[in-house]
Amino acid sequence: MARVALVTGGSRGIGAAISKALKAAGYAVAANYAGNDDAANAFKAETGIPVYKWNVADYEECKAGAAQVEADLGPIDIVVANAGITRDAPFHKMTPEQWRQVIDTNLTGVFNTVHPVWPGMRERKFGRVVVISSVNGQKGQFAQVNYAATKAGDIGIVRSLAQEGARAGITANAVCPGYIATEMVMAVPEKVRESIIAQIPAGRLGEPEEIARCVAFLVSDDAGFINGSTISANGAQFFG
C-alpha cells in the first residue's frame, strides 16, 4: 500500500507543488488548507488530491483533521508542515496581534500538525517529518521579527524531533526556501520584489517545484540517515 503523506497548506503555492510531487512519487497525499475553498477545489479538480479544511493554529482541529485523513487514506507516514503566513511590520509598529497570529500559525501550527501523528509513527517505527522554514529564519529580516522567530524555531523543532525519533525510524528535517515565486511573494509591490531579486546571486526567484523536489528527497527511503538537517534552497542568497 502507498505511504500516506499529509501536506499542510498543500493546496496553493509551495505546498501545492509539494503535494503534486509526492503524488507523482507514488504517495497517497492529503492536502490541508485554511479557508480558500475556491483554490482548494480547483486544486482538487486539477490533481485528484483530496483536500481537508482546518486551521493549523487550532490543536483540536489538527487532531480531528489527521484522524479524518487516517480514516480516509490510512495511517499518516509523512507529514509536511508547510502552512505559513506573514504579518510584516517593523518591530516598533508590530502589534501583539500580528506577533500572535504568526506564532500561532507558523510555530504552534507545527506542534499541532506533528504532535497528533507522532505516536503512530513511533508505533509503526517509520516516519518522515519535513518543516518548511525560510531563509529569513536563518538570517533574520527587516519587518519580520515575528516570522523570522517562527522560522528559526522550526529548525530547533526538527533538530529536537530528530533526536527523539531517530531510534524509532523517524526523521525530521527542515527546508529553508529563499524567495519563491508564489502568491506570498508576488503580493509584495513590484519595486520591493525587484530589490529582492537583486539580492539573489541566481538573479531570479525560485520555483515551488524546486522546493518540492527537496521534500520528495527528504521523505524517501534514500534519505533515512539525514535527520535534523536543514536544506537551504535560495539561489546562493545566504549560506545557513
Ligand X SMILES: NC(=O)c1ccc[n+]([C@@H]2O[C@H](COP(=O)([O-])OP(=O)(O)OC[C@H]3O[C@@H](n4cnc5c(N)ncnc54)[C@H](OP(=O)(O)O)[C@@H]3O)[C@@H](O)[C@H]2O)c1
Applying CB under 6 A, the residues found at the interface with ligand X are 8-9, 11-15, 32-36, 39, 55-57, 82-85, 105, 132, 134, 177, 179-180, 182-185
As a whole number of angstroms, the distance between CA 14 and CA 24 comes to 15
Handedness of CA 42, 48, 54, 56 (dihedral sign): negative
Residue pair 77/125 in contact (Cβ under 8 Å)? The answer is no
Which among 208, 144, 143 has a CA at the least distance from the CA of 175?
A: 208
As a whole number of angstroms, the distance between CA 103 and CA 130 comes to 18
Of 126 and 148, nearer to ligand X (C-beta) is 148
Of 35 and 189, nearer to ligand X (C-beta) is 35
Of 145 and 168, nearer to ligand X (C-beta) is 145
Nearest 5 degrees, angle CA 10-CA 13-CA 16? Answer: 35
Of 144 and 227, nearer to ligand X (C-beta) is 144
Give the active site residues: 147
**Nearest approach, Cβ of 125 to ligand X (angstroms)?**
29
Which among 204, 206, 193 has a CA at the least distance from the CA of 233?
A: 206
Beta carbons within 8 Å of 51's beta carbon, 6+ residues apart: 10, 11, 30, 31, 32, 33, 40, 41, 43, 44
Of 126 and 177, nearer to ligand X (C-beta) is 177
As a whole number of angstroms, the distance between CA 105 and CA 172 comes to 19
- The SS3 of residue 163 is helix
